[in-house]
Structure 1
Amino acid sequence: MGDSAGDWCLIESDPGVFTQLIRKFGVNGVQVEELWSIEDDSFDNLRPVHGLIFLFKYLQNENVPVDVVTDSRIDRIYFAKQVISNACATQACLSILLNCTHPDVDIGPELKKLKEFSMSFDPKMRGLTLSNSQTIRSAHNSMSQQAVIEVDPKAPAKEEDAYHFVSYMPIEGRLYELDGLRDGPIDHGPVSLEQDWIDVVRPIILKRVNADHPFPCRYNEGEIHFNLLAVVSDRKMIYERQLEEVMTTTGLLGMETDEFDSEVPRLRMLIDYEEVKMARYRQEMARRKHNYLPFIVVLLKILAAEKKLMQVYEKAKERASKRGHKKMKV
């Protein structure tokens, strides 16, 4: 993949990072939540779910053929080839946002303009359009972490595991997998009006996690190589809407009901929780971007002066060896 549009940073697979990334695009009415299970009860408080973003370890040496959509549906599905390194996190988000028709989701003027401009292009030209968008590139790179140590780009790089993001979502009654490294969307079959599309995607993701999927994914037992995020409607917006409905119903009845007494405090608590969560996301992002190097240098000098440096180092080394290998970047 080329890099003519300049360097794109690695993005951490974190719901706060993805939520802020989406809002940097100018999108309203959406946030991202992390899923620890794909069982049905994990989605109880998240619906409507507009799409899933799946992170997995990508094994480039395996190339199992997969049937992709190349017919006229490609003119109606916004699918873009990934033509720039490290862009798959952003493209996974955009794949969902630019195909979403739910009334909660407002993709904003920049993405609307980009979609209208490039919808008639082929997937590669769409990918080039995305990678050359200053709005998208700036939003993507604003999620970068502060580098404590600068690495010489000319120096031979240590080979590391490659990780990749793909999206799943229903479009026009069928479940699609949108992977920018493919030539087109992957059709996983129909989703009927009576079905919850999560029930259709669940076995597909479970097969992939269990390495029983026709894809490049063969892993050693005990390794953790997956992360799952859900793109959902803004939870605060949903709770505020529900609160307004309860208040309106109570006003029409002219009296407070048992539902009012129990539901109003619950919804107000949930709204407060979402406000606190978003404030925490902003704080975490500020910490990611802060330069801690001066503090670290001073701390090391103090520890060395007190002859505690090697003791702290050995403890840290021991903790690191016990920690499971879990990468969350691509």
Structure 2
Amino acid sequence: MSDAGNWCLIESDPGVFTELISGMGVSGIQVEEVFSLDETSLDKLKPIYGLIFLFKWQGAQSSMPHPDSQDDANDHVFFAKQIINNACATQAILSILMNNSDIELGDDLSNFKSFTADFPPDLKGLAISNSDLIRSVHNSFSRSDPFINEMQDSSAQGDEDLFHFISYVPVHGALYELDGLSSGPVNLGPCNEENWTEKANQVIMERMRKYSESEIHFSLMAVTKDRIETLQEQLDEFSGLLMSLGDADQEQRREFESQISILQYEYEQEKTKRARWKRENQLRQHNFIPLTYNLLRILAERKKLQPLVNAAKAKKRLERERSDKK
């Protein structure tokens, strides 16, 4: 892979991924963290367009393709080789967006998909790296920290844990694993379009079993329809049903009113979550270094910095002494 373009690392966070998707011009889509792949949990998130799995990279380790898969996936699956370091998060997103006809891509990504339709995987990856839109949206979450590169011990890079994003997405009745570091898309076999996540669950669990029992660094996120839009549609539907009821059907009316109350609560909770995501993303993207520098400078000029440092050291020493006595 190339280091060209200096793509930043992306945090595995649904709020971050949702803003990345929105920044690329795709509306009506959000990302949710998945804590369980049981049907009860997933029913609340449907429709699910694809899954994004984060795991500790241990070298090439694609899942085994289904023994009966003979199709030429390049004819109907958008797959791009990852040729840029740190681009796996955005490529995992694109693997899902580009392979689902129910998602409105917007003008920019629609044109990109058409332009690269006949490209082989390596050229698709190169096109992603050369896209000003995709690169700028990805790097909008770069951390403004001038000390990282200077302080990092290059000799220790080989010992650092590396993490990688891949996607699982149903295409033409089959489940595919799309990993930009693999040679191509992996056909995991036929799947039911409604319950394809059952097969994905089996594959993901098999991947996790290859790690030691102490390994807990996994993350799973689902790309879904915008929950606010979904809840609003459900509210409109039940409100219409309620208005159509006659006065005689009181039991049905109470049932609809109860369902509307639940949906209104979920709607407000979703709006609160979106506001929290927006605030957290603003903090992630803000450069606090000038503020911190000036605060320390002013404290030093007023002769208040050293007393604060001494007080902090004394507090730490006292805590250590109390801990030793226990």
Distance 1:26 1:226, change over 3 A: same
Task: Please name the residue that 1:190 is paired with.
Answer: 190
Q: What are the residue-to-residue correspondences of 1:238-317 with 2, within 5 Å?
A: 238-253=230-245, 257-293=253-289, 296=292, 298=295, 304-306=306-308, 307-310=310-313
Task: Please name the residue that 1:100 is paired with.
Answer: 100
Describe the superposition over 1:213-250 as per-residue Cα deviations: whole angstroms up to 9, x where unpaired.
Answer: xxxxx44x423221111111110110000011112222
Task: Please name the residue that 2:162 is paired with.
Answer: 162
* Paired amino acid for 2:135: R
Distance 1:293 1:272, change over 3 A: same
CA contact (8 A) 2:191 2:199 kept: yes
Q: How far is 1:312 from its partner?
A: 6.2
Q: How far is 1:259 from its partner?
A: 2.8
Higher fraction of helix: 2
Task: Please name the residue that 1:236 is paired with.
Answer: 228
Q: What are the residue-to-residue correspondences of 1:84-123 with 2, within 5 Å?
A: 84-102=84-102, 105-123=103-121
CA contact (8 A) 2:30 2:227 kept: yes
Q: How many residues align?
A: 305
Q: Percent identity over the alignment?
A: 41
CA contact (8 A) 2:34 2:221 kept: yes
Distance 1:171 1:24, change over 3 A: same
Task: Please name the residue that 1:79 is paired with.
Answer: 79
Alpha-carbon RMSD across the aligned residues, in angstroms, is: 2.8
Distance 1:82 1:311, change over 3 A: farther
Distance 1:304 1:292, change over 3 A: farther
CA contact (8 A) 2:238 2:256 kept: yes
Task: Please name the residue that 1:28 is paired with.
Answer: 27
Distance 1:36 1:129, change over 3 A: same
Describe the superposition over 1:145-173 as per-residue Cα deviations: whole angstroms up to 9, x where unpaired.
Answer: 33263423996253211111000011111
Distance 1:261 1:146, change over 3 A: same
Q: How far is 1:35 from its partner?
A: 1.4
Q: How far is 1:313 from its partner?
A: 6.0
Worse-superposed segment, 292-301 or 35-44? 292-301
* Paired amino acid for 1:114: F
Describe the superposition over 1:193-230 as per-residue Cα deviations: whole angstroms up to 9, x where unpaired.
Answer: 5x61111111111111111xxxxxx44x4232211111
Distance 1:313 1:79, change over 3 A: farther
* Cα distance in structure 1, aligned partners of 2:227 and 2:132: 29
Task: Please name the residue that 2:323 is paired with.
Answer: none
Paired residue secondary structure (1:279): helix
Describe the superposition over 1:29-70 as per-residue Cα deviations: whole angstroms up to 9, x where unpaired.
Answer: 11001112223332131111111100011113x667955989
Describe the superposition over 1:57-89 as per-residue Cα deviations: whole angstroms up to 9, x where unpaired.
Answer: 1113x6679559895331211111111111000
Worse-superposed segment, 285-294 or 150-159? 150-159
CA contact (8 A) 1:81 1:180 kept: yes
* Cα distance in structure 1, aligned partners of 2:238 and 2:305: 58
* Paired amino acid for 2:108: E
Task: Please name the residue that 1:143 is paired with.
Answer: 141
* Cα distance in structure 2, aligned partners of 1:261 and 1:286: 38
Paired residue secondary structure (2:82): coil
Q: How far is 1:251 from its partner?
A: 2.6
CA contact (8 A) 2:63 2:186 kept: no
CA contact (8 A) 1:146 1:288 kept: no
